[in-house]
């Protein structure tokens, strides 16, 4: 039996390539790459000439069969994602599962990860975190993921395409409130790296004027203690007081959301229930 190496590759800066990865690229039989252009760039950088095979989420079933057959025949296969660690919100799990069923050795080659890199520079709590990957673009599952992000007590980490960043930030405002702290880590380790911190509202304002580009990792602070400690009775009492001043339901909900760090939608529902 051969060996499958699940190898992390640089997010951008080629200086982050480990010595171990360099040796594997030079000595292995096959590189199974999500992006063959990216893989060949790495191979050229280290003067390696290993055979490259395309393997990604849309590869035909026959490609998985080819790779498992190569492992059965004793070949060493290095699996590379586009950047970072394979199978972390990236394709590759099917190959790992197939290799495990074969009984072949599966070896992790640790290295760069956008998740841990973003957490390390965010300033947000990182002893525990919730990773949601890429959220669905629409539908009930997207709503469930957004609600999960709003109620998590731990920092939430998500990936998003630059063109949809502002839309995601606005959706998070609806469930988390505009004052929830967040961090956008963009183009990590690359020439135009940016780590921008602020409230969700501040970040929306910034990216309205400066449309985001490149790879995005978004972090949202966990639900704040005041939100967790505020009982429904306390919130309803305050809502009654505000409504008694003649405030509209919408304005009352906005004040509740700000005072108790509640999702705006939840605050509005409580006001309407009164």
Question: Do 206 and 126 belong to one domain?
Answer: yes
Question: Do 81 and 154 belong to one domain?
Answer: no
Question: Do 101 and 194 belong to one domain?
Answer: no
| Measured CA distances, 113 to 16, 74, 81, 110 (Å) | 11, 29, 11, 9
Sheet with 155-161: list strands edge to edge: 129-134, 155-161, 215-220, 181-186, 194-199
What was the pLDDT predicted at 226?
Answer: 43
Domain end point (choices 112, 145, 173): 112
What was the pLDDT predicted at 227?
Answer: 52
Question: Do 89 and 74 belong to one domain?
Answer: yes
| Measured CA distances, 231 to 57, 235, 236, 244 (Å) | 46, 7, 9, 20
Q: Which of 142, 147, 133 is nearest to 223 (CA)?
A: 147
Q: What is the pLDDT along the chain (274 residues), one digit of tens a residue?
A: 999 999 999 999 999 999 999 999 999 999 999 999 999 999 999 999 999 999 998 999 899 999 999 999 999 999 999 999 998 877 789 999 999 999 999 999 999 999 999 999 999 999 999 999 999 998 989 999 998 998 888 999 999 999 999 999 999 998 888 999 999 999 999 999 999 999 999 999 999 999 999 999 999 999 864 454 567 888 888 889 888 888 899 989 888 887 787 777 888 888 998 8
Question: Do 248 and 264 belong to one domain?
Answer: yes
Domain count for the chain: 3
- Expressed as residue numbers, the domain containing 23 is 3-112
Question: Do 14 and 76 belong to one domain?
Answer: yes
Question: Do 214 and 231 belong to one domain?
Answer: no
Is residue 199 within 8 A of residue 182, CB to CB? The reply is yes
Question: Do 88 and 171 belong to one domain?
Answer: no
Domain end point (choices 63, 85, 112): 112
State which H helix or E strand residue 23 sits in: helix 19-27
Q: Specify the CATH number for the domain of residue 48.
A: 3.40.1010.10
Would the CA dihedral through 118, 123, 128, 129 be positive or negative? negative
Question: Do 170 and 206 belong to one domain?
Answer: yes
Joined together, the tokens standing for residue 61 give: 């079933």
Question: Do 183 and 246 belong to one domain?
Answer: no
Question: Do 165 and 214 belong to one domain?
Answer: yes
What was the pLDDT predicted at 229?
Answer: 57
Domain end point (choices 184, 208, 223): 223
Three-state secondary structure call for residue 104: coil
Residues 40-62: pLDDT tens digits?
999 999 999 999 999 998 999 89
Q: Specify the CATH number for the domain of residue 179.
A: 3.30.950.10
Question: Do 231 and 176 belong to one domain?
Answer: no
């Amino acid at each position: 039996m051969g060996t499958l190496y699940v190898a992390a590759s640089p997010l951008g800066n080629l200086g982050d390539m480990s010595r171990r990865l360099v040796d594997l690229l030079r000595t292995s039989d096959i590189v199974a790459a999500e992006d063959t252009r990216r893989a060949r760039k790495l191979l050229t950088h280290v003067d390696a000439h290993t055979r490259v095979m395309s393997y990604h989420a849309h590869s035909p079933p026959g490609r998985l069969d080819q790779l498992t057959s190569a492992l059965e025949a004793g070949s060493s296969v290095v699996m590379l994602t586009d950047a970072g660690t394979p199978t972390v919100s990236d394709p590759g799990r099917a190959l790992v599962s197939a290799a495990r069923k074969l009984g072949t050795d599966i070896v992790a080659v640790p290295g760069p990860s956008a998740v841990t890199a973003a957490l390390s520079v965010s300033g947000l709590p990182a002893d525990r975190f919730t990773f949601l990957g890429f959220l669905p673009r629409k539908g009930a599952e997207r709503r469930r993921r957004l609600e999960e992000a709003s109620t998590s007590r731990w920092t939430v980490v998500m990936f998003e395409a630059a063109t949809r960043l502002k839309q995601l930030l606005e959706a998070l405002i609806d469930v988390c409130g505009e004052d929830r702290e967040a961090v956008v880590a963009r183009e990590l380790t690359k020439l135009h790296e940016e780590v921008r911190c602020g409230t969700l509202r501040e970040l929306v304002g910034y990216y309205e004027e400066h449309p985001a580009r490149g790879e995005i990792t978004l972090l949202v602070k966990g639900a704040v203690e005041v939100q967790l400690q505020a009982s429904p009775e306390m919130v309803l009492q305050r809502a009654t007081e505000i409504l008694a001043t003649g405030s509209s339901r919408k304005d009352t909900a906005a004040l509740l959301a700000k005072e108790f760090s509640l999702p705006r939608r939840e605050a509005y529902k409580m006001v309407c229930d009164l």
